[in-house]
Amino acid sequence: MNFPSLPVLLSASVALFSLHSEIRAEEKMMEPMNVASLNRNLMNSMAIPDSGWTLRDDEGREIRAMLLSAHGDMVRIQRVDSEQEFDVPISMFDPETEGRIRYWIEEDPGAVDFSLGVSASRELADSSTVELSGRSYTKKEWSYKVVIHNATRNDLNDAQVEFRVVYDDNVNFLRTTPTPGEGANQQDGQAVDLPLMKFNDEIEFNTPIVETDTYEYKPARGDREYLKDEIKGIWIRVIRHDEIIAEYKSNEAAMSNLSWDNEEEVEIKITNRFKESFGVESEK
C-alpha cells in the first residue's frame, strides 16, 4: 500500500514522501523522542475540533486534518477540505506533531482501532445423579472457557472483560423434593480487569461454575414428571474507558434485560503463542 504524505495530500507525489518517511523512521529509532519535552500547549485538549488539527511534516509543510484512528505505527486521517481519508506513517510528522498524535493515542479512549478475537466454549466440570424411588435427580456444573486475542499492533491496557452466563432456572432440589426455580433468563456474571496485552497476546480464563438441575419421574401410571434447567449461552464484552471495543454473544436472543453481578474472583492466564514458538516464556 502506498502511504500519501502531507505534501502529496497538498499537491506533490507519493514516492518522495514515502522515501522520506523511511529515512526519518530510521533516524528516530536511533534518537527516541521525549514527549515530555514537547510544547505542552499543544496537548491541553484531546478533543479534536470540527476544523481539525494542523499536522506538520519534518519540512514544515502543513495540512488541516482530523485524526480518525491509529493502528500500530499508522494513523488514519481525514482532510478537512475534501474529507478524503488516508493511512499515513506517524514517523512522517515533525517531532511536535508526532508527540501530539502519540499523546492523543494514549489519552483518547477511541483513538486506537482495536482488533480483538473473542471466543468461548462451554465445559462440563462435574455431574452426579441420584436415583430414589423411581425418581432421578441430576446435578451438573458448567463453566465457560473464554479466550481473548489481541490482533492489534497496539498495546491493550486499562481494559476489562465483562461476561454473563444466561440460563433458565426451572427446578431446584430441597433434599429429595423438587421445587420451582427462579425462572427463565437468570444470569451469573462479573467484570474482570485484563492484564496488559501486547500484539498477539492471548488470555484465557474459566468463568465461575453455574449449576443446573434435572428432575425426572416416570410413574407406572399417570403423566411423566420432568423439569430441567438449561444453559442458554454467554455474552462477553471487552470495555476500555467505558467504551465497548469487542463483543461476543453465543445466543443473542437470550441476552436481553440483564444486569451484571460482580462477586467471585477469576484467575487469568496470559500467553503469547508467537513468542512461545521461539522459546520465550509468557508472562504470568
Residue-level pLDDT, tens digit, the chain, 284 residues: 444 555 444 443 333 344 344 444 444 444 444 444 444 444 444 566 667 888 998 888 888 998 888 888 889 889 898 889 988 999 989 999 999 888 888 878 778 889 999 999 999 999 999 999 889 999 999 999 999 999 998 889 889 999 989 899 999 998 888 999 999 888 888 888 999 999 999 999 999 999 999 999 999 888 999 999 999 999 999 999 888 899 998 887 767 666 555 445 566 667 765 556 555 555 54
User: Which stretches of the chain are assigned E, i.e. beta strand?
Assistant: 53-56, 62-71, 74-79, 85-89, 116-132, 135-150, 159-174, 177-193, 202-206, 210-217, 225-228, 230-240, 243-249, 269-271
Do the domain assignments include residue 14? yes
Co-location of 146 and 189 in the same domain: yes
**Within 13 Å and on the Cβ side, how many CA atoms surround 166?**
18
Co-location of 203 and 262 in the same domain: yes
Do the domain assignments include residue 284? no
Contacts 24+ apart (CB under 8 A), 53-58: 53/100, 55/6, 55/93, 55/97, 55/101, 56/6, 56/93, 56/94, 56/96, 56/97, 57/5, 57/6, 57/7, 57/17, 57/92, 57/93, 57/94, 57/97, 58/20, 58/24, 58/92, 58/93, 58/94
Rounded to whole angstroms, what are the CA distances from 107 to 80, 158, 198, 236, 249? 23, 11, 17, 25, 29
Among candidate residues 51, 75, 107, the one where a domain is terminated: 107
DSSP 158: S
Among candidate residues 107, 131, 161, the one where a domain is terminated: 107
Co-location of 144 and 254 in the same domain: yes
Do the domain assignments include residue 281? no
| Residue 265, pLDDT score | 57
Co-location of 162 and 85 in the same domain: no
Do the domain assignments include residue 1? no
| C-alpha cell at position 248 | 461476543
Co-location of 171 and 151 in the same domain: yes
Co-location of 88 and 129 in the same domain: no
| Residue 7, pLDDT score | 47
Do the domain assignments include residue 259? yes
Q: Which domain holds residue 62?
A: 6-107
Among candidate residues 57, 84, 107, the one where a domain is terminated: 107
DSSP 104: H
Co-location of 135 and 93 in the same domain: no
The domain total for the chain is: 2
Whether pTM > 0.85 for this model: the answer is no
Pairwise CA distance, residues 24 & 26, whole Å: 5
Co-location of 142 and 34 in the same domain: no
Co-location of 158 and 141 in the same domain: yes
Do the domain assignments include residue 283? no
Sign of CA dihedral 155, 148, 143, 183: positive
DSSP H or E segment with residue 17: helix 14-30
